[in-house]
Amino acid sequence: MSSLLITHIKSLVGVHPNEVKVLRGKAMSNLPVLNDAWLLLEDGKIKDFGEMNSIPSQLTTYNTQLSAQGKFVFPSWCDSHTHLVFAASREEEFMMKIKGKTYEEIAASGGGILNSAKKIQKKTEEELFESASKRLDEVIHLGTGAIEIKSGYGLTLESELKMLRVIRKLKENFPIPVKATFLGAHAYPSEFKNNHEGYIKLIIEKLIPQIADEGLADYIDVFCEQGFFSVDETSRILEAGAHYGLKPKIHANQLSATGAVEVGVKYQALSVDHLEIMNSSATDTLKNSNTIATLLPSCSLFLGIPFADARSLINADIPIALASDFNPGSTPSGNMNLVVSLACMRQKMLPEEAINAATINGAAAMELSDTCGSITKGKLANLFITQPIPSLAYYPYSFGSDLIDQVIINGKIY
């Protein structure tokens, strides 16, 4: 039996009761904390916690101890939207953006997702696993303790399967929960440029059945957007996915509001992600659903597109999750600390709301609420200890600083 006792914690953050699975509206600002606390981790799980003034004396004699004087303990970030398996970086497009080209213009001229797809064909599963492992290791050191990863840079039968097998290998080799999402409908590959029907058939008739057969994906995603997949096409793909039990988590309303949120909700999407461009129909649809609104502020920062209107969503009682969107084209960063800071700075989310959105609601957006997202007895002991900081708000306020002292995964220092 392995155990670790953390004592003298200045503030133990996110001590939500077990029945809290997802937060919406006013409840999003409710982030319970325990000051001057202790926390006992046993066999990879959160065993117990309490205040220092009532710590059971036998605990202090039997356990390996760590003092967290002046420090905060946070539940690990739950990053519910990433594309962290990719073949190569795309800083040449970054240069094009600096010189004035938009994301759409770069994509239309063969850059963007197709650029990544071309490069991935040439990589072996081992090479992709190796580069993705480095990124996953990096984000775990940055506080991420559960993650979703998408395919979508393959765009052929072989390469989509290759990506999903890499994600499976990451699941098997890393100590944190990993969820896999099939995003074959990320862009039309060049060979199907004038034959959309052919590609949709490939997805529906070949890819989805084989992926389901091999159990390679937990979820299905579509980039539902002008110039990518239409609402009707999205609908057909989600229908096919539903037939195989794949729940949707879709890219919606990133560049325009053309019905993506509505089609996602129609197919009971677990989450609709991006939402930079909303209208009242999309908001009303979301309000009357159980679908989570996942916002990706570092994508807005990098592309220079509007930030999603978090306040309106919170006012409408819609649950918000925050995620990184880590990918080589629109968000070359998987840093959830920056995501939380940006949500406060640019989306006017309170620190409490942003932290809940990046933990408990992120867990909900991966169906991991029972095991991740808060400091709750019985949940996985995935958390991080900060350096000494004066207050909770100081954490998102000091954006760009690395304030993590130690990362703990499954009760062990990572």
Residue at token pair 């039309």: 188
What is the closest distance, in whole angstroms, from the C-beta atom of residue 255 to ligand NIG in the complex? Answer: 8
Q: In the numeric block, which tokens belong to residue 392? A: 């909770």
Kindly tell me which of 199 and 223 has the beta carbon lying closer to ligand NIG. 223
- Total residues interacting with Fe ion, rule: CB under 5 A: 1
Q: Which of 262, 325, 352, 353 binds Fe ion (CB under 5 A)?
A: 325
Distance CA 40, CA 6 (A): 6
Question: Among residues 145 and 328, whose Cβ is nearest to ligand NIG?
Answer: 328
DSSP 301: H
* Closer residue to ligand NIG in complex, CB, 14/112: 112
Q: Where are the alpha helices (DSSP H) in 304-335?
A: 310-315
- Which of 335, 310, 329, 337 is closest to 321 using CA atoms? 310
| Alpha carbon distance 15, 394 (integer Å) | 19
Interaction between residue 79 and Fe ion (CB under 5 A) = no
Please name the residues in contact with 303: beta carbons below 8 A apart, sequence gap of 6 or more.
97, 103, 330
Q: 221 vs 352, which CB is nearer to ligand NIG? A: 221
Q: Which residue is nearest to ligand NIG (CB)?
A: 329
Amino acid in position 256: S
State the nearest-atom distance from the C-beta of 237 to ligand NIG, in Å.
15
Least Cβ distance, residue 316 to ligand NIG (angstroms): 23
| Binding positions for ligand NIG, rule: CB under 6 A | 112-113, 116, 223, 251, 254, 299, 325, 327-330
Query: Could you say which of ligand NIG, Fe ion, none residue 283 binds, taking C-beta under 5 to 8 angstroms by partner kind?
Result: none
For the CB of residue 129, give the shortest distance to ligand NIG in the complex, in Å. 19
8 Å CB contact between 63 and 4: yes
Burial of 14 from C-beta contacts in 10 A (0-12 / 13-18 / 19+) = buried
Residue 75 contacts residue 142 (beta carbons within 8 Å): no
Distance, CA of 233 to CA of 155 (rounded, Å)? 16
352 binds, among ligand NIG, Fe ion, none (CB under 5 to 8 A by kind): none
Three-state SS for 300? Answer: helix
Shortest Å, Cβ 83 to Fe ion: 6
Q: What is the closest distance, in whole angstroms, from the C-beta atom of residue 338 to Fe ion in the complex?
A: 16
Closest CB to ligand NIG among 181 and 254? 254
Q: How far is the CB of 347 from ligand NIG (least distance, A)?
A: 17
Which range of residues in 30-38, 260-268, 322-330, 340-348 is near Fe ion by CB under 5 A? 322-330
List interacting residues with Fe ion (CB under 5 A). Answer: 325
